[in-house]
Chain A
Amino acid sequence: MLLRIDPDSSAALYDQIAGSVRREVAAGRLAAGERLPSARDVAEALDVNLHTVLKAYQLLRDEGLVEMRRGRGAVVSARADAFAELRAEAAALVARARTLGVGADALAALVRTAAEEA
Chain B
Amino acid sequence: MAEKDGAYGRAAAVGVVAPAVLSVGALAAIVAMIGDLPDPVATHWSGSGPDGFSSPELVLVMTGAVGGALPIALGVSVLGSIRRGERGFVLRLLPSVALGLSTLMGVLMVGSIAMQRGLPDAADAPSILPVLAWGLGAALVAGATGWLVQPRHEATAPAAAPARPLALAPGERAVWVGRSEMRPAALAAIIGGVAVATLAALANWVVGDTAVAIVVTCVALLLAVLAASLTVFHVRVDASGLTVRSAARLVRMRVPAEDVASASAIEVSGLSQFGGYGIRHIPGATAVVLRSGSALEVTRGSGRRFVVTLDDAATAASVLAAVAEDAHAAQD
A positions within 8 Å CB-CB of B = 1-8, 29, 35, 37, 41-42, 44-47
Pick the most buried of B166, B174, B179, B315: most chain A CB atoms within 10 A of its CB: B174
Within 8 A of A (CB), among B78-105: none
Closest to B235 in A: A37
Contacting pair B171 A2 (CB below 8 A): no
Contacting pair B234 A41 (CB below 8 A): yes
Closest to B232 in A: A35
Contacting pair B319 A7 (CB below 8 A): no
Contacting residues, chain B, for A41 (C-beta < 8 A)? 177, 234, 236
Closest to A4 in B: B174
Residue tally, chain B, CB below 8 Å to A: 20
Give bound CA distance, A29 to B319, whole Å: 15
Contacting pair A47 B239 (CB below 8 A): yes
Give bound CA distance, A113 to B234, whole Å: 40
Give bound CA distance, A8 to B170, whole Å: 9
B positions within 8 Å CB-CB of A = 166, 168-169, 171-179, 234, 236-239, 312, 315, 319
Give bound CA distance, A6 to B169, whole Å: 8
List 26 A-B pairs, Cβ < 8 Å: A1-B176, A1-B177, A2-B166, A2-B312, A2-B315, A3-B174, A3-B177, A4-B172, A4-B173, A4-B174, A5-B173, A6-B172, A6-B173, A7-B171, A29-B312, A29-B315, A35-B179, A37-B178, A37-B179, A42-B175, A42-B177, A44-B238, A45-B177, A45-B236, A46-B173, A47-B239
A111 CB to closest chain B CB, in angstroms? 23
Closest to A36 in B: B177
Contacting pair B169 A3 (CB below 8 A): no
CB-CB nearest 8 A-B residue pairs: A45-B238, A37-B177, A45-B175, A6-B172, A4-B174, A8-B171, A2-B315, A45-B236
Give bound CA distance, A53 to B178, whole Å: 15
Closest to A31 in B: B311
Give bound CA distance, A46 to B179, whole Å: 17
Contacting pair B238 A46 (CB below 8 A): yes
Give bound CA distance, A20 to B176, whole Å: 11
Contacting residues, chain B, for A3 (C-beta < 8 A)? 174-177
Give bound CA distance, A2 to B238, whole Å: 10
Contacting pair A6 B171 (CB below 8 A): yes
Pick the most buried of A37, A44, A45, A46: most chain B CB atoms within 10 A of its CB: A45
Given A1-B178, A45-B175, A45-B238, list of 14 further CB < 8 A pairs? A1-B176, A1-B177, A2-B319, A3-B174, A3-B177, A4-B172, A6-B171, A29-B312, A29-B315, A37-B178, A44-B236, A45-B236, A46-B238, A47-B239
